[in-house]
Amino acid sequence: MSESANVRWHILFSGRVQHVGFRYTAYYRARDLYLTGWVDNLPDGRVEMEIQGPVANLRRFLLQMKSERHIHIEHAVIKEIPIWPHDRGFSVKGY
As annotated, the active-site residues are 23, 41
Quickly list DSSP for 37-58: EEEEE-TTS-EEEEEEEEHHHH
- Edge-first strand listing for the sheet containing 6-16: 72-81, 6-16, 47-54, 36-41, 90-92
Kindly report the number of other CB atoms within 10 A of residue 14's CB atom. Answer: 17
Euclidean distance between CA atoms 34 and 87, whole angstroms: 11
